[in-house]
Amino acid sequence: MDERFTLPEDYDGARLDTTLAELLRRSRAFAQGMIAQGRVLVNGAPAKKSAVLREGDELACTFTELSSIEAKPEAIPLDVRYEDADLLVVNKPRGMVVHPAPGHAEHTLVNALLCHCEGQLSGINGVLRPGIVHRIDKDTGGLLIVAKSDFAHAALAEQIAAHTFTREYRAIVHGTMKSPEGTVDAPIGRSERDRKKMAVTLKNSKPARTHYSLVRQYDRFADLSLRLETGRTHQIRVHMAHIGHPVAGDPVYGPQRTANDLAGVKGLNGQCLFARLIGFMHPRTGEYIEIEAELPEWYMNFLKSIGGVE
């Protein structure tokens, strides 16, 4: 089976082997083996494992283990907040993977969408990612836009690339904020120490800007509203950690796992981050549409635990 990927800007400047490993969710050694066997093509031609990729590059790989993975419709309930003939906005539950991949072949958002939309989804991102215009992490809940047609997908992708797509989040972060509002303007790229992570870096990076405002300050935590001007991988999590206020419960970019750190985040089971608002120009009508979701129960429960909700 051929698996194909069109690289978003997050991978501009990354090596082929590390990129393939992340896309397939396998080890770097496994990806290098596939490349050495000639089972990976970049823009239709074989490439070395050290090849530097660019935004828009087309990767194709023959991955025999993926032949057993098929995105099948599953009757999983969806929290749909907007829907028409071109697109829909869903409120993804925390803990749900967006699309099938090794280790997550079933019970993903795509499986649920295939059932809900009866297969009427954009095919731009391939058979395992139908309709997926942008993603949020497994343990980040909230609003996600889905395209039903290639026309809608292309138009929405243009808005994301032009940074005219509105995305606002709520997050609870560690520490006391020095200012009630601010902007983190720091480029993000692959970490040189750990290619599975992102980092603030000047090497092979892209501009990244996150605007934040303080909702309420607590003893050891702060509740923030954040707006993405750009949309880099893990942007909020990386930027907040960079300024010394990592997202509470973040297993990757959070503080050292000391007893003191763990005491305040028990029960979170992942980063306390929620995609609460999404706004876009409708690809067919040109109308600006904005959808907002209420804070979920797990977020409110954590606020209670730090003294924020009665």
Provide the annotated active-site residues: 137
208 CB burial (10 A radius; 0-12, 13-18, 19+): buried
Which residues on neighbouring strands pair with residue 284, listed in sequence order? none
Q: Determine contact, residues 292/227, Cβ cutoff 8 Å.
A: no
Residues written for the chain:
310
Nearest to 167, CA basis, from 277, 90, 88: 277
Contact by Cβ (8 Å): 167, 156:
no
Is residue 16 within 8 A of residue 35, CB to CB? The reply is yes
Span between the terminal Cα atoms of the chain, in Å: 54
Single-letter amino acid code for the residue at 1? M
Amino acid at site 39: R
- Give CA–CA dist 151/26, Å, rounded: 32
